[in-house]
Structure formats: C-alpha cells, structure tokens
C-alpha cells in the first residue's frame, strides 16, 4: 500500500515538474496527464482493503457469510469520473495546441507569449 502512495506522489510531482520545466506545449499537456494519473492512483489506493472482495452484496446469494470485507466501491467510481474528466481535458488541451500551432507556427512556450504584462 505504501508503495502505491509513494508512486502516486512521485507521479504528481513529476507531472508538476513537467508542466513547470518543459517548453514544449505537448509535453506540458503530458505533464497534466501524469499529474492526473498520480491522483487517480491515489484515489484507487485509498479504497483498497487488504483481502477484500468485490463490493457486491452477496451474503445471501452465495452464503459467504457476513465477515468478508469489501473493497470500498466509491473511490473506484470517483476514479472513473476523474479519468473521464482528465481525458476530456487532455483532448481539449491537445486541440488547443493544434490550433496554437496553426496560428503561431510554433509550440514552444517561450514563443507563445503575446499576452503579457
């Protein structure tokens, strides 16, 4: 479990580093994506229950007994939502990059700075 948390923190920091340090707009979008994955990993990990089963209320159906621990289903739902949102954001960011490339003939962050001051 601790491994998951560490990995997610590393991913988030890596993503933020990419956003801050890379001049290429596509790399910036990738950085945003990496941050998202880090957060998703964190969300999934917090719902995990060691030895837990699928969260289906099956006590009567299969006669397993009430002792089995479920994996928390809510974080998984949250992760799904978050993934969908992340995908939309990435798609929009990339389409913006395409349009920027058409107008500026460049995807270097240093040259995309008409709005300043």
Nearer to other proteins, 68 or 101 (CB): 101
CA terminus-to-terminus distance, the chain: 46
**Least separation, in Å, of the C-beta of 75 and other proteins?**
7
Nearer to other proteins, 39 or 62 (CB): 39
Nearer to other proteins, 15 or 63 (CB): 15
Residue 62 to residue 15: CA distance in whole angstroms: 45
Q: Which of 35, 29, 28 is nearest to 14 (CA)?
A: 35
**Least separation, in Å, of the C-beta of 99 and other proteins?**
5
Q: How far is CA 9 from the centre of its chain?
A: 12
**Least separation, in Å, of the C-beta of 58 and other proteins?**
19
Residue 44 to residue 17: CA distance in whole angstroms: 23
Residues that bind other proteins in the complex, under the rule CB under 8 A = 12, 16, 19-23, 25, 28, 32, 35-36, 39, 42-43, 46, 72, 74-75, 78, 81-82, 85, 88-89, 92-93, 96-97, 99-100, 103-104, 109-110, 112-117
Read off the tokens for 98. 């395409």
């Amino acid at each position: 479990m601790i491994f998951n948390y560490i990995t997610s923190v590393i991913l988030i920091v890596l993503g933020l580093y990419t956003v801050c340090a890379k001049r290429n707009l596509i790399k910036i979008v990738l950085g945003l994506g990496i941050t998202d994955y880090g957060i998703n990993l964190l969300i999934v990990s917090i719902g995990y229950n060691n030895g837990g089963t699928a969260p289906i209320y099956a006590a009567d159906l299969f006669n397993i007994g009430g002792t089995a621990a479920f994996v928390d289903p809510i974080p998984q739902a949250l992760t799904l939502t978050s993934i969908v949102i992340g995908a939309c954001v990435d798609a929009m960011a990339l389409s913006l990059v395409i349009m920027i490339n058409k107008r500026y003939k460049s995807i270097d962050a240093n040259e995309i700075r008409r709005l300043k001051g």
